Amino acid sequence: MFIGENPIHIKVENKSDISNLVIMPGDPLRAKYIAENFLDNAKEVTCVRNMLGFTGTYKGKKITVMGSGMGMPSIGIYSFELFHFFDVDKIIRIGTAGAVSKEAKLKDVILAKDAYSESNFAYSFNGYEKNVVDGCKNLNSVISRTAKEIGLKIQEGTILTCDVFGPYIDIDAILNRVPKHIELLIEEMEGFGLLHVANHFHKEAAVIATVVDSKYSDVVLTIEDRQLKLNDMITLALESIIK
């Protein structure tokens, strides 16, 4: 295996520019939004391939917020480099998702207990052959407790991570192949990859997602509704990661 001495996809002036606590939305512009609206003294620390990363403070704690891009290959690269080269201890992914269960409603915030995927990502990464990866119980417990403290109702369950954007495929074909004992709440594209890389490094990671569309509804959240609910999720992630 060739890793090299320096990361290829993250470039900073000093290693200390990256906090050991990272919030990771998929969209680099959402990382910019979080830095500008939630962090104090935030500065851009990396911009390779326009995958923006910012570091500032939240309630006095140093935090980095950085985009992951879309899909497991992308978040796999950035989470690997953060854990391996920058000694990051915790990453919380915050994203959007589509409901694949009637139990998950529009605007619901979902915490991944674990993630199911048909992908070969984990097998290619290190020979892992199972279709389910576990979330970090300790970090999930902190997030669940924090949600209660700030008065935010969340659901916890199993998520589906797909290689292809759910609305563009026959999602039912995938759902019909999932073992019957696995009950899925939502589908998205990054969670399985992040959790697997974190488990490989024995680091903490969690996946929080806001439901913005559903296979059971033709309604799609407006831009304003999305941002309001995403703000709730962002606050939950920030409040949780500093504990």
The mean pLDDT value for 27-45 works out to 96
- Computed on alpha carbons and rounded to an integer, the radius of gyration of the chain in Å comes to 17
User: Dihedral sign, CA of 7, 8, 13, 16?
Assistant: negative
Say if residues 108 and 155 touch (Cβ distance below 8 Å).
yes
Name beta bridge partners: 217: 214
Identify whether 213 is a catalytic site residue.
yes
Out of 89, 108, 213, 232, which one is annotated catalytic?
A: 213
Say if residues 204 and 139 touch (Cβ distance below 8 Å).
yes
For residue range 98-126, what is the model confidence (pLDDT) as tens digits?
999 999 999 999 999 999 999 999 999 99
Say if residues 110 and 211 touch (Cβ distance below 8 Å).
yes
CATH fold of 15-241: Rossmann fold (3.40.50)
The mean pLDDT value for 16-25 works out to 98
For residue range 180-203, what is the model confidence (pLDDT) as tens digits?
999 999 999 999 999 999 999 999
pLDDT confidence of residue 200: 98
pLDDT confidence of residue 223: 72
Dist CA 64 CA 52 (whole Å)? 11
pTM, to two decimals: 0.96
